[in-house]
């Protein structure tokens, strides 16, 4: 099944009001229809970035979301607030939230369910740490995080879910999984999705690769049959690099 490649720019805790709007305007100018593009700016800039993206087809995303509706949750941001800001999709379970902030599989699942029920799309991030990779646990970690993260998600809602496979040791380190290793992990994730749902669901889900994707390595990664684009951190902060990565995704779609 032909899947439209999907490239996300995760700006993390970078940019400011001026540079974020400028970056968004550049992303909007470079976007083309062959690839789905989303940017995930910091919360305070969502509205201004959304205005800069208006009419471009680039989706506005948020880096996180609360699993609660409202109330006494200091510092949290609800689905209703994100929708109010024009957000269409959210990251859940990014490795920095799992491993730096300490989010559990159960909390990630609760966020996935909350976001989907509010009408938001979800990018569920999974991936193994270096010691897990060295212990041969890559596929087991991905399976655990995906089974737990998607518990209770219907086959119909899987149309709004993307998986981002991001080996933790490759994020922000300049180290990238080889295309063959990444493809292997992606193929196993797709097989897992087929066993959890069915083949047509598995064939429809985009699985992004993340971890030090750059213009120089994007094309060979995106050429792999089960790699449907990427989730980009550092290189998404440079408009030219991000545009080149999106172009590599466009080329992979042809
Ligand atoms: P990186 O980050 O591209 O800087 O490695 C990827 C991510 O964290 O999503």
Provide the residue range defining the domain that includes 91. Answer: 62-228
Q: Which of 126, 129, 171, 235 to mutate to test the pocket of ligand 1 (most atoms within 8 A of CB)?
A: 171
For ligand 1, pick from 212, 236, 237 the residue to mutate: most ligand atoms within 8 Å of CB. 212
pLDDT digits (tens, 9 = 90+) for 151-198: 999 999 999 999 999 999 998 888 888 999 999 999 999 999 999 999
For residue 25, is it within any domain?
Answer: no
Domain count, the chain: 1
pLDDT digits (tens, 9 = 90+) for 106-135: 999 999 999 999 999 999 999 999 999 999
Q: How far apart are CA 141 and CA 118, in angstroms?
A: 28
Domain harbouring 132, CATH code: 3.20.20.70
Q: What is the pLDDT of residue 120?
A: 98
Residue range 42-94, pLDDT digits in tens: 999 999 999 999 999 999 999 999 999 999 999 999 999 999 999 999 999 99
Q: What mean pLDDT do residues 194-222 have?
A: 97
**Is 26 contained in some domain?**
no
The reported pLDDT for the residue numbered 177 is 87
**CB neighbour list of residue 135: distance below 8 Å, 6 or more residues apart:** none
Confirm whether 128 is domain-assigned: yes
Integer Cα distance of 34 and 251 in angstroms = 9
Q: What is the pLDDT of residue 1?
A: 56
Domain annotation covers residue 245? no
Question: Does the pLDDT of residue 98 top 80, yes or no?
Answer: yes
Residues forming a β-bridge with 162? 123
Residue 248: inside a domain: no
User: Distance between CA atoms of 54 and 41, rounded to whole angstroms?
Assistant: 15
Find out whether the beta carbon of 10 lies less than 6 Å from any atom of ligand 1.
yes
Alpha-carbon distance of 87 to 61, in angstroms, equals 5
Residue 123 CB less than 6 A away from ligand 1: no
171 C-beta closer than 6 A to ligand 1: yes
Please tell me the distance between residue 68's alpha carbon and the centre of ligand 1 in angstroms: 27
Q: Pseudo-torsion of CA 243, 249, 253, 254, nearest 10°?
A: 60
Q: Are the CB atoms for 189 and 225 separated by under 8 Å?
A: no
d(CA 245, CA 213): 8
CA atoms of 119 and 3, how far apart (whole Å): 21
What is the rounded average pLDDT for all residues in the chain? 97
Q: Is the pTM of this model over 0.95?
A: yes
């Amino acid at each position: 099944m032909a899947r439209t490649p999907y490239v996300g720019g995760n700006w993390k805790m970078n940019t400011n009001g001026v540079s974020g709007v400028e970056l968004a305007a550049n992303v909007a100018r470079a976007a083309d229809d062959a690839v789905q593009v989303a940017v995930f700016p910091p919360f305070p800039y969502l509205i201004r970035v959304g205005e800069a993206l208006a009419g471009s087809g680039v989706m506005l995303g948020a880096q996180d979301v609360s699993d609660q509706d409202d109330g006494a949750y200091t510092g949290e941001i609800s689905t209703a607030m994100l929708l109010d800001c024009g957000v269409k999709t959210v990251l859940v379970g990014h490795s920095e939230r799992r491993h730096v902030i300490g989010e559990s599989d159960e909390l990630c699942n609760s966020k996935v369910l909350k976001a989907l029920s509010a009408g938001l799309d979800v990018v569920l991030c999974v991936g193994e740490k270096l010691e897990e990779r060295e212990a041969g646990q890559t596929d087991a970690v991905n399976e655990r995080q995906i089974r737990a993260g998607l518990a209770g998600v219907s086959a119909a809602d899987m149309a709004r879910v993307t998986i981002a496979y991001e080996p933790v040791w490759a994020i922000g380190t300049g180290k990238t999984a080889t295309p063959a290793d990444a493809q292997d992990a992606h193929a196993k994730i797709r097989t897992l999705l087929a066993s959890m749902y069915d083949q047509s669901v598995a064939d429809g889900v985009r699985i992004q690769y993340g971890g030090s994707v750059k213009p120089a390595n994007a094309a060979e990664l995106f050429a792999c049959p089960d790699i449907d684009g990427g989730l980009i951190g550092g290189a998404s902060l440079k408009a030219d690099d991000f545009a080149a990565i999106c172009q590599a995704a466009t080329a992979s779609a042809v």
